[in-house]
């Protein structure tokens, strides 16, 4: 796990542990929470192989602006949609350096449970579904001139986070997600292997309650 993710996870843990904070206006049923911030996507260390397992892949992380919209169905249950500016990820191969790059757009829909709706620090967990589309994929280095593409991905996403209430409307937010994400890699129309991204996604932002 990268330092970006470790630091964000530590922030979530410390905030969620501060349960003795004074009461604050709760998120109520029917509220809409809009959050904007920055998300860092950090793929797992083992990113699959191509060429019948002969070439190991290593996919770089990426940081982009992001946003979420959450509808509070009850004081405890929220439904959240995550969106972001497309991430740009470099694709490296062991012993070959950079062989390509791709852009990813990973909207994620999650069902959340908010534990302490009346507290200043409001921790929550979530589980949901991620859809990732890969586009503008380009070959580089040893594979320059070849047509590279990656299939879109569907996978489960898990989340832990916390909102810190600043006043009746404004709050700070930190969360960390793990997303099950993998894709079949094609070169010149031929299936050449599997990219296993499975990233941690760390987000810091500010929110407003409507």
% the chain with pLDDT above 90: 72
Domain count, the chain: 1
Q: What is the reported pLDDT for 19?
A: 41
Q: What is the reported pLDDT for 24?
A: 63
Among 200, 107, 118, which residue's Cα sits nearest to residue 160? 200
Integer Cα distance of 82 and 157 in angstroms: 11
* Those residues with Cβ within 8 angstroms of residue 52's Cβ, 6 or more apart along the chain or in another chain: 193
Average pLDDT across the chain, whole number: 89
pLDDT confidence band for 88 (50 / 70 / 90) = very high
Tokens of 28: 């109520």
Q: What is the reported pLDDT for 3?
A: 56
Are 165 and 25 within 8 A, CB to CB?
A: yes
Integer Cα distance of 120 and 66 in angstroms: 24
- Lowest mean pLDDT of 3-17, 71-85, 196-210, name the range: 3-17
Count of residues making up the chain: 210
pLDDT value at 11 more than 80 = no
* Those residues with Cβ within 8 angstroms of residue 53's Cβ, 6 or more apart along the chain or in another chain: 193
Q: Supply the range of the domain harboring residue 199.
A: 3-209
pLDDT value at 8 more than 80 = no
Among 118, 195, 205, 111, which residue's Cα sits nearest to residue 153? 195
Query: HSE-up of 5 (CA within 13 Å, CB side)?
Result: 16
Which CATH number goes with the domain that contains 56? 2.40.160.20
pLDDT value at 4 more than 90 = no
């Amino acid at each position: 796990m990268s330092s970006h993710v470790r630091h964000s996870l530590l922030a979530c843990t410390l905030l969620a542990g501060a349960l003795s904070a004074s009461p604050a206006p709760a998120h109520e049923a029917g509220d809409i929470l809009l959050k904007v911030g920055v998300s860092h996507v950090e793929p797992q260390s083992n990113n699959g192989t191509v060429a019948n397992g002969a070439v190991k892949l290593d996919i770089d992380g990426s940081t982009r602006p992001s946003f979420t919209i959450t509808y509070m169905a009850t004081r405890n249950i929220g439904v959240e949609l995550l969106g972001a500016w497309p991430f740009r990820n470099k694709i490296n191969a062991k012993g070959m350096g950079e062989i390509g790059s791709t852009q990813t757009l990973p909207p994620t829909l999650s069902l959340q449970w908010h534990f302490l709706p009346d507290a200043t620090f409001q921790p929550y967990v979530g589980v949901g579904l991620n859809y990732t589309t890969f586009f503008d994929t380009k070959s580089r280095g040893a594979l320059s001139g070849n047509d590279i593409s990656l299939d879109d991905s569907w996978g489960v996403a898990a989340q832990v986070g916390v909102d810190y209430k600043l006043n009746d409307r404004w709050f700070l937010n930190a969360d960390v997600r793990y997303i099950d994400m993998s894709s079949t890699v094609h070169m010149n129309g031929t299936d050449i292997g599997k990219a296993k991204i499975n990233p941690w996604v760390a987000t810091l932002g500010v929110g407003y309650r409507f």
